[in-house]
Amino acid sequence: MKVKELEEHPTFAAVLPPATSEEYDTTGWRAFKPVVDKEKCTGCLICWVYCPEPAIIRTPDRKIEFDYKHCKGCGICEVECPVKAIKMVKEV
């Protein structure tokens, strides 16, 4: 579908322009947030690959931390972590 067609049908869900997720603060979207257990984390970075947002940051020790400003609380990282080092916890 062309951009012009999308503009003519504003009820169609689309983000224009693409690759702008770093500009959005998604803090208010979450009911749950991911927390990593650094003792369990092996640094495989699978969570980083699967996260749909720029919300997982690689640390110098090849482990991870979260940028909660961009995390929308989808829980994909918890599901994909092979050693169950990530838990989704309720926002307070």
* Interaction site with ligand SF4 (CB under 6 A): 34, 36, 41-47, 51, 53, 55-56, 64, 66, 71-77, 81, 83, 85-86
In b/e form, how buried is each residue of 28-52, taking b as 16+ CB within 10 angstroms?
eebeebbebeeeebeebeebbeebe
Rama region for 85: left / alpha / beta (φ>0; ψ in -120 to 50; rest): alpha
> What single-letter amino acid sits at 33?
K
Closer of 3 and 38 to ligand SF4 (Cβ): 38
Instruction: Quote the least distance from Cβ 20 to ligand SF4, whole Å.
Output: 15
Instruction: Quote the least distance from Cβ 64 to ligand SF4, whole Å.
Output: 5
Instruction: Quote the least distance from Cβ 53 to ligand SF4, whole Å.
Output: 4
